[in-house]
Structure formats: C-alpha cells, structure tokens
Amino acid sequence: MLFNSHEFILAFLPATLLAFFIVARASELAARVVLLGASFFFYAWWSVEYGLLIVATIVMNYGFGRALQHLASNRSQNARHLLIVALAVNLGLLGYYKYRNFFIENLGAALGFDWSLAPLVLPLAISFHTFQQIAYLVDSYRQKVEQPTLFSYALFVLFFPQLIAGPIVHHWQLLPQLHSRRMYRFDAESFAAGLTYFVLGLSKKVLLADPLSSVADPIFDAAVAAPPTATEAATATLAYTFGLYFDFSGYSDMAVGLALMFGVRLPYNFNSPYRAASIIDFWRRWHMTLSHWLRDYLYIPLGGSRHGPVRRHVNLMITMLLGGLWHGAAWSFMLWGALHGAFLIVNHAWNGLAARFAAAGRPIALPQPVAWGLTFGGVALAWIFFRSPSLEHALAMLNGLVGSNGLHSERLASAIGAGKGITLALAAGIALLMPNTQQLIDGVGRSRRMPHLRWSPGRVWSTALAALFMLAFTQMSAVREFVYFQF
C-alpha cells in the first residue's frame, strides 16, 4: 500500500488511527496488537508471501539478538562467531533477492556464458528492514540493547510509517516510545503536527515530484534511441535532481507525519541537501539515517579515519561503493557510489590542504557560491548514473549535456510545456530558498531565510493545508510508486 493511494488515505489510515486510540483507552497492550496487526496488513497487502518472509526474519533476528546479548554478557568468544553467522544470514537473504541475478549474470558474462535468470521479485523494503535489523544485532553484540519482547521487537520492525522506505530507525529511537504511555493517549498537538508533515509530504510527492518525473523519465529512457540535446539533457538532469529530492523527502515527511499522529517521533531524513556547499555537508543532509547507518556500521568498523589519510580514503570509497550497491544491483549504482566516494576523497583532501594553509597563517577557502556550484553540479552529475537504465544511457546523457547532439531542439518545449517548466522553477526555488519541513513545523535549525515563516496550529495554516491536501488528493490518480521503493 502506498501512502499516496486512496485506499491508504481513505480507509487504512483512518481505520487504524480510530481503532488504535479507541482500543488504547481500554488497554495499551491491545492497542499495540492493533498497531502490529495493521502494520502487518499494510505490508502483506502487497504480498502475503513476503509478509510471511518478513515475519520469519523478525523471529530469526529476535532469536539471534537474545543469544548475542546472552553470549556477549558472558564474554563468550562465541558471541563474535554468532554475530558473523547472523550477519551472513541477513546479508545472504538480501543478496539472494537483490543481487543473485546481477552477480550470476556478470560472472557468466566474464566467463563468456549467457547465464540469464528469470527476474526475482524483490521483497518490498528488504534493504531497509535488513539494515534496521543488522543494526539491532550489532548493538545486541555490543550490549547496547535493552532486550525487548518478541512482540515489541516485531512492532519496532513492522511499525508501518517507517517500514517501507525508512527513515532507518534504531531500536533505541523507537522501542522506548512504543512503551511510553504518551503514545496511547490521543495528543491533538502531535496529531496536528503529524497532519501538517503528512500533507506537506504528500504535496511534495504529488504536486512536485511526479510532474518532474514525467519530464525526466522520457528523456533518460530514450537517451540511446533519441540522443538528447544539451538543453534536453540539462532539463532532464535538473528535473530528476529536484524530483528525486521531493519524492524521497516527501515520503520521509509523510512517514514522520504518520508516526507523529500516533505520538511517535521518527528521525528526520533530509535537511535541505541541495544547499550544501561541500560533498561532506551534502551527506550530512541527504538520506541522513542511511548516512548515519553507513558511518556507524560500516565506515567506523572499517577503521574510519583512525589509520591515516590513505586508509580513510580507502574506507570512504568502500563505504560509498557499498552504499551505491545498496541502492540497486547495477553497475550504474556502483558508479554513482564511486563518484561520491571520489568526491568525498577530494573534499577531505581539500580540507586537509586548507587546514595546513590555515596553520601556516594563510587561510584559503572557495567563495561560497563556487563551493555550492561545484557541490550541486557534482551531485547532479552523479544522479545521471543513478537514474540511467544502463551505462550506455548515462553516457548518452553526458554526451548530450556537453552539446554533442546540438544545443537545443523544439522537442523540449513541446514535451514539457509551460506548466512543467514552472513546476521545475518552483521546485528549485523551494529546495534552495525556502525553509524545509522540520524548520517550518518544528523550528529545528531555524532557517536564516524567511525566519518568520513558521507553522503554528492556527486557523490560517489549517485552512491552507486542507486546501493543499484537497489539491494533492485530486491529483493522485496516476498513482506512481515512490522512487525509493525499488531499493
């Protein structure tokens, strides 16, 4: 079930909220059962078979977690062995569904065989809940987990607002809230903020991301058959760059909003990433929960920056390559990860150089607009590899971008029209100039621009949001899956 579907908005969400808060008046445990049942229904709506698979992983990982904690608390050597087994099983499952065909087909190609396999249907959200559960296992081994019951653990993994595409939530963020009494009393303030997050997220998705996707998709998909001109390639790249941001950050806002309706606070996932003036800063703002996960459970265990600059650069590249591969089993994702790895290495090298100059009393720094331009340009360039169906398509887009197929064609204007051109400009303006959702609603990291633009639970905001909701609701008919669902 998609958050931006009629069945979710008109049936599932109101029914679940109503049932949860009515039952919670009588019993918190029963309310938790309602929420767990609804969350399972939400997932199994897509596939009962894979619904059972996720339940199996929950039971298995809960068992692993308990055993790990027991062994680790007894300082048993077996704890480390068991952790390796548990991680191997989880990564093996992810690998089987997500990477099996990619690996076998590429191995076959390298050996000169055609080992094409029938495509496997990827269990929805497997990349997200596998990372979530791996973090739980590692923390169990590190004895950082207050052991939950199986029931609580299942709710932690299945809690529907964060289940499908994050934010990637840790046990220490969610489990205490699931047991807090506050969650089981309807809180009008929390609900109002949640509603606002949800409406803004839905609007980002339906009113900005989907139209931008319809600009970018035809040009990217036809890049080989109909090589784009420079303006077509640039427009498609910008449309995809902003469209992806509004798609995924819109989804994350909806997730945060839905959780808030139940009185649960999820971590923010985006913080105006396209305003970053360095790649390091970009990764502190883009898909923040994944960045934190990669840092805490991959980069730092690899050694992080503790063994000198060369090891740090190697660790950065490994982290970004695997981060790229996490997004999908394709060389284009690996290349996207490699590009960001290279950008980060250059960024760290530049910072080192700047520190040396500063120590010598001759500080150097790029002017802010140049730093921003380089960062945005690098990120947008990398998205070409991320979006292109194949490397051939990506190269065709790059060729188009440098003007190999001419600067401009009339096709562009007729394809996008004035309406979508305005949408692109509006999207760029919102992403680059406006306060982001958490700045607007929670006042977190107050924006320097428009500091007085701040949500409050008043009638003006309420009426405007209801109108925005109606507008978004009426535009949902061409329900499009969120881009991040495929990961």
Partner 1 sequence: MSIFPTASPPVAAKASAAARFNMTFAATLVALTAGFALMLACLERLDSLPPPPFTATTCIDEKFKFLSEQPLQQIDLIAVGSSVTWRNLDMAAFKEAGLADRPLNAAPCYLHASETTFLTSFLLHRMPRVHTVITVVAPRDFEECSGPSDEFVSRRLADAYVFDDLPSLPVYLTNFKPDGFVRDALRIRAMRADPQHPLSLTMDEFGSGPLHRRSGWLPPPALERACFPALTALEATVKRHGARLVVAAFPMQPEWRRRFDPDGAFQLDFEARLRRALVRPETIFVSGDHPDFRALTHADAVHLLWESARSYSHSLAERLTHSRETATSPAAERR
294 neighbors 327 (Cβ within 8 angstroms): no
Smallest distance from the beta carbon of 218 to partner 1, in angstroms?
A: 13
**Residue in the structure block whose two tokens are 């000198």:** 308
Closer to partner 1 by CB, 414 or 474: give it: 474
Q: Which parts of this chain interact with partner 1 (CB under 8 A)?
A: 6, 182, 187-193, 195, 263, 265, 419, 442-444, 456-459, 461-463, 465-467, 469-470, 473-477
- Burial class, 426, CB count within 10 angstroms (exposed 0-12 / middle 13-18 / buried 19+): middle
Complete DSSP assignment for 456-470: -SSHHHHHHHHHHHH
Catalytic residue selected from 129, 170, 327, 393: 327
Looking at the Cβ atoms of 21 and 64, the one nearer to partner 1 is 21
Residue 366 or 468 having the CB closest to partner 1: 468
DSSP E strand boundaries for 384-478: none
End-to-end, the C-alpha distance of the chain in Å comes to 16
Nearest to 123 by CA among 101, 97, 102: 97
Nearer to partner 1, 190 or 229 (CB): 190
DSSP assignment letter at 147? P
Identify which of residues 195 and 431 has a Cβ nearer to partner 1 in the complex. 195
**Distances, alpha carbon 332 to alpha carbons 215, 220, 277, 428, 433, in Å:** 21, 13, 25, 25, 31
Shortest spacing between CB 408 and partner 1, in angstroms: 26
Residue-by-residue DSSP string for 263-312: T-PPPP--S-GGG-SSHHHHHHHSSHHHHHHHIIIIITTTTTTTTHHHHH
Smallest distance from the beta carbon of 282 to partner 1, in angstroms? 25
CB of 479 to partner 1, least distance (A): 9
Query: By C-alpha distance, which of 317, 263, 320, 314 is closest to 291?
Result: 320
Distances (CA, A) of 389 to 24, 237, 401, 403: 48, 14, 17, 21
83/206 with CB nearer partner 1: 206
| CA distance linking residue 29 with residue 277, whole number of Å | 48
**Token pair of 381 as six digits:** 């360039």
Identify whether 129 is a catalytic site residue. Answer: no
Smallest separation (angstroms) from partner 1 to the CB of 35 = 17
Whole-angstrom Cα Rg for the chain: 23
Query: Least CB distance from residue 189 to partner 1, whole Å?
Result: 4
- Please state, in angstroms and as integers, the Cα–Cα distance from residue 81 to each residue in 74, 84, 88, 130, following that order: 14, 5, 11, 19
Smallest distance from partner 1 to CB 302, Å? 34
CA 89 remoteness from chain centre: 24
What residues act catalytically?
Answer: 327
